[in-house]
Amino acid sequence: MKTALVTGGAGFIGSHLVDRLVSEGIRVVVLDNLATGNWDNLAHHDEQHVTRVLWDVSEPWPDDILPRAVDWVFHLASPASPVHYRRLAVQTLMVNSVGTKHALDFALRSHARFILASTSESYGDPEVSPQPETYWGRVNPVGPRSCYDESKRFGEALTSEYVRTYDLDARILRFFNCYGPRMQAEDGRVVPNFVRQALQGEALTVYGTGQQTRSFCYVSDEVDGIWRAAVADGIAGEIINIGNPEERTILNFAEMVADIAGITLQIEPRPLPPDDPTNRCPDISKARRILGWEPRTDLRVGLEETFRFFRSQGSP
């Protein structure tokens, strides 16, 4: 039986990845310190298929309780929403630097393939749209978002160096905005914000003019991209965007949310946070070419699933 180690597996994307791995017949070990995740996301798995280890991956790893050999290391541990990474700024810098080094060393020791969850934030506030993997980005190195953006960029540099220096079979995936069930209602990202506010009949909070764009990838599509990258041969060192290229303005997105909720759209304007990117749209031609991957879930369908999840959690 093949084995995968997933850091951050109790979180939103990580828990969906664990579901997919288990459905592929893989045994999974999850390392998570529950900084922003929850074991409830894995409650439907038994210990035989999914081993849960409560651990801060920025600390030296507990080799005595981990398997000696695994087939894949998926490194997803990191706060991901601005609300969480501002609250956990130093921890975010640590998990994406020191934590990434521990994960890379473990992958080397156990002869595993390594998959780094990086981010479109590596591009910062971009001057080109859509963003191809070859674009170097425009990132403020010392701003309020830099604990996340720059530590992810460091993680990419470290991973690339483990490929060049130690011949590690690693790939770097830059995730763009992903959404779906198991997002936290209060994590401040636009999808849970709008869905929660719509369900409670509140005005939707829009930052700035609402003309900034985002593109939203449903979580099952995201996980399919991760899995394809994990099983693809001959792509060591490759960096691949995983996201949905269908770009829309935040205002347009707010209209769709209100329509699904069956409410009249009301907007509560808020000032734009510093360094907020004005556009976000992945160029996914590389993912299409080398993984045969592209997102398939219609935004409306994915949003309806997300609404169902929030309702099941007790939102009105």
Ligand X SMILES: NC(=O)c1ccc[n+]([C@@H]2O[C@H](COP(=O)([O-])OP(=O)(O)OC[C@H]3O[C@@H](n4cnc5c(N)ncnc54)[C@H](O)[C@@H]3O)[C@@H](O)[C@H]2O)c1
Active-site residue set: 148
Count the neighbouring beta carbons within 10 Å of the beta carbon of residue 158.
18
* Among 22, 27, 50, 56, contact with ligand X (rule: CB under 6 A): 56
Candidates 29, 42, 74, 78: give the one binding ligand X (CB under 6 A). Answer: 78
Q: What whole-number distance in Å separates Cα of residue 161 and Cα of residue 181?
A: 35
Between CA 225 and CA 254 the distance in angstroms is 27
Q: How many residues bind ligand X (CB under 6 A)?
A: 30
User: Smallest distance, Å, CB 36 to ligand X?
Assistant: 3
Q: Does 245 bind ligand X (CB under 6 A)?
A: no
List the interface residues with ligand X, window 7-26 (CB under 6 A).
Answer: 7-8, 10-14
Nearest-approach distance from CB 16 to ligand X, in angstroms: 8
Please report how close the Cβ of residue 211 comes to ligand X at its closest, in angstroms.
21
Structure tokens at 13: 């994307």
Q: Does position 122 bind ligand X by CB under 6 A?
A: no
Q: Which two tokens stand for residue 110?
A: 């156990």
36 scored as a contact of ligand X (CB under 6 A): yes
Selected binder of ligand X within 146, 177, 244, 297 (CB under 6 A): 177
Site string for ligand X, 92-111 (x = CB under 6 A): ---x---x------------
Among the listed residues 32, 150, 221, 224, the single contact to ligand X using CB under 6 A: 32
AA letter at 34:
L
Binding stretches for ligand X (CB under 6 A): 7-8, 10-14, 31-37, 56-58, 76-80, 91, 95, 99, 117, 119, 175, 177-178
